[in-house]
Structure 1
Amino acid sequence: MRALAEPVVADLGLEIYDIEMVSGVLRLSIDTPPGQTGGVTLDNIALVSRLVSRELDHNDPMPGRYTLEVT
């Protein structure tokens, strides 16, 4: 999962803080790199969600159903 999401997140100037799977929810936590001013915006979260979802749908790395949650 990290291998699929990391390039997408990095291209937006962000980084992955944590990834966890709990009760059918795949939670991807993103943040700005250390030393960068500003924070993650709602637009960033929406864009990461769309782009990572597209990668997951295309590559199908995990069996079964799950919900992607980006925070």
Structure 2
Amino acid sequence: MSAVIKTTEELVIPILTKKNLELVDIEYVKEGPNLFLRVYIDKPGGIDITECGEVSELLSEELDRVDPIKDAYFLEVSSPGVERPLKTKQDFANNIGKNVLIKLYSPIDGEKEFEGILKDFNNEIAVVSYKVKTRTKEIEIPFDKIAKARLAVAF
């Protein structure tokens, strides 16, 4: 974890705890000539723009005080959106029954990507029901083989 992300996490957690909000993710990325520090927050039922603005103001003050980023950057505080990343075991447990997209470090049954319904998660294994043409299959995916996962909008 980069020092900027670690410092930002240490600064934002107390702010979010006071507001009963959850930290979903932090990104520190360069896009073109610009640097962006993105903080994704949420709560049950979703988050609104007012809450994002309040967290942004408070976090901005803390970042100015600590000054972990010497270059100019843009701070963005927002909802993770409908395709929210699933990073922790708790994220998986909280999203059983929802459509997910899971990408793996190494293939299982010749595939490195599965999209389907998260049927179960028992702390180490995600069970996903997915379709292959007209057949429905189930796959057990060990948590430590998951490179990236997110909720996926089903059409």
Q: Report how many residues are paired.
A: 67
Q: Percent identity?
A: 40
d(CA) in 1 for partners of 2:40 and 2:46? 13
- Note the residue ranges of structure 2 that are not aligned, 5 or more in a row: 1-7, 79-155
Computing the radius of gyration from Cα coordinates, the structure with the larger value is 2
Structure having the higher helix fraction is: 1
TM-score by length of 1: 0.87
Choose the corresponding residue for 1:29, options 40, 43, 48: 40
Consecutive aligned runs of 4 or more in structure 1 exceeding 2 Å deviation:
none
Structure having the higher strand fraction is: 2
**Counterpart position of 2:56:** 49
Structure 2 SS opposite 1:52: helix
- Note the residue ranges of structure 1 that are not aligned, 5 or more in a row: none
- For the aligned residue pairs, the C-alpha RMSD in angstroms reads 1.0
